[in-house]
């Protein structure tokens, strides 16, 4: 079974999250219900939670924090390399744009257009376009297509020089590990009120997510274990 993904990426969504709307969750209502639950008859479906020792919690928290640090370092490395890559990458103006006046957005032509498919289509339509000098017209189009090939080659060489692809892959690998550790910690029953307070702060306070801040909504499967902890733990006591 795959690990449920938080709807809260490290660059958080806007306040009107579609995920929150789909779940019909009011964030403030959830917090309020969890806090006053001991005094009310609010009914939440709960499954018995297995006991978690303080040592297990501390180990899970330390692992998540370790991975969080690695992700931050990876982010910084990628940001620095990408900044250098952008400063050295070839200019898109090296492409002969006069030959592609109606081909869509420049980046689509520069990075995504199938050059050889375009060339073969152009040749196949020779009888449909008029030119006083067909061979010269074909030579100009071929040269323009070659300018795209040259642009892509130079861009790829620059990316390789700054190790961009490897840095992106490493960043994604670490982010996946962090998500798994984050999931394990949030679903681990809180052993005490201090651990529960940490979960609330992580979800809604933002202190643990700096510099990314907190997100405006989480899926209910992430919030429910926190509510269950609040209902299960005796006030101010241990599990």
Cα distances (angstroms) measured from residue 29 to each of 13, 25, 36, 174, 181: 20, 8, 11, 34, 27
Residue 118 contacts residue 141 (beta carbons within 8 Å): no
Predicted confidence at residue 146, as pLDDT, reads 97
Question: How many whole angstroms separate alpha carbon 62 and alpha carbon 58?
Answer: 6
What's the mean pLDDT in 63-83?
96
The yes-or-no verdict on residue 24 having pLDDT over 50 is no
Predicted confidence at residue 32, as pLDDT, reads 38
Task: Note the pLDDT tens digit of each residue in 192-214.
Answer: 989 988 888 888 775 545 555 55
Task: Note the pLDDT tens digit of each residue in 49-70.
Answer: 566 899 999 999 999 999 999 9
Predicted confidence at residue 203, as pLDDT, reads 81
* pTM, entire model: 0.63
Question: How many whole angstroms separate alpha carbon 65 and alpha carbon 80?
Answer: 23
Predicted confidence at residue 202, as pLDDT, reads 83
The yes-or-no verdict on residue 93 having pLDDT over 80 is yes
Task: Note the pLDDT tens digit of each residue in 104-157.
Answer: 688 889 999 999 999 999 999 888 877 889 999 999 999 999 999 999 999 999
DSSP secondary structure of 171-233: HHHHHHHHHHHHHHHHHSPPSBHHHHHHHHIIIII-GGGTTS---S---HHHHHHHHHHHHHS
Distance from the Cα of residue 166 to its chain's centroid: 17
Residue with tokens 């002969």: 96
């Amino acid at each position: 079974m795959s690990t449920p993904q938080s709807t809260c990426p490290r660059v958080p969504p806007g306040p009107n999250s579609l995920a929150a709307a789909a779940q019909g969750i009011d964030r403030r209502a959830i917090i309020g219900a969890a806090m006053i639950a001991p005094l009310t008859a609010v009914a939440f479906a709960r499954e018995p939670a297995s006991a978690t020792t303080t040592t297990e919690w501390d180990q899970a928290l330390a692992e998540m924090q370790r991975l969080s640090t690695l992700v931050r370092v990876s982010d910084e490395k990628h940001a620095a390399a990408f900044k250098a890559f952008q400063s050295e990458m070839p200019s898109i103006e090296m492409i002969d744009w006069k030959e592609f006046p109606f081909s869509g957005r420049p980046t689509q032509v520069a990075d995504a257009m199938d050059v050889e498919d375009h060339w073969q289509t152009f040749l196949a339509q020779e009888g449909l376009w008029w030119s006083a000098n067909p061979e010269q017209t074909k030579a100009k189009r071929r040269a323009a297509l070659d300018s795209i090939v040259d642009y892509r080659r130079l861009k790829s060489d620059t990316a390789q020089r700054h190790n961009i692809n490897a840095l992106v892959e490493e960043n994604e690998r670490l982010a996946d590990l962090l998500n798994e550790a984050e999931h394990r910690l949030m679903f681990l029953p809180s052993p005490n009120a201090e651990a529960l307070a940490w979960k609330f702060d992580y979800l809604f306070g933002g202190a643990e997510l700096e510099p990314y801040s907190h997100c405006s909504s989480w899926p209910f499967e992430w919030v429910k274990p926190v509510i269950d902890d609040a209902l299960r733990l005796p006030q101010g006591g241990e599990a």
